[in-house]
Amino acid sequence: MLAGSSSRGGKRGWGERGKDGVSEETAVGTPLGAIMAAAVNQTIVYSITDGNQGAKHLDYEANSSYVLKVEADSMRVVSSNLRVPSKTNTARVVIDIQDENDHPPFFSRPLYIGGVAEDAKTFTSVLKVQALDKDTGNYSAMMYRLIIPPPAGKNTKDSKDGFIIEPFSGV
């Protein structure tokens, strides 16, 4: 079920004109609202005639929006139970999908090996790592940290051994 109202050749949507859209984590089968058309003393039959690939999980990275063509068919039944020619109207419905943080980051290489010269100055860059994320916007922002266990018998806070990694660039 979708939300909106029909007007001749109209375009309705969710996520347009300042609305947030539909979360890509919305469960399959969740109603979004209703489309409504009016016809005096007639039954209206609704059909999605284009853009409906069936009930499936939404994935912003695969499709950031969906366009459906919804047809409203006014059907008048006469006393003999025969259908009288009907009038049809269509609406184009745009559903914008909202990205969520649903993909974990991954490193661009499986292994990084760095080295440092014995006489290297303090804060010499010895290795650059890169991680990527399929999500967009703030959901794809990275923060790096290097996890090194402290040498035996030393407290991490007091230790001057180890490395510094810039948390946003990975350098």
* Cα 65 to Cα 57: distance, rounded to the nearest angstrom: 13
Does residue 101 surpass a pLDDT of 50?
yes
pLDDT tens per residue, range 16-43: 443 568 999 999 888 876 788 887 777 8
pLDDT of residue 109: 94
pLDDT of residue 152: 66
* Cα 96 to Cα 100: distance, rounded to the nearest angstrom: 13
* Domains of the chain, earliest start first: 11-98 (2.60.40.60), 101-171 (no CATH)
pLDDT tens per residue, range 132-157: 999 998 899 988 887 776 666 666 55
pTM for the predicted model, two decimal places: 0.62
C-beta separation of 63 from 97 below 8 A: yes
b/e per residue, 141-160, with b = 16+ CB within 10 A? eeeeeeeeeeeeeeeeeeee
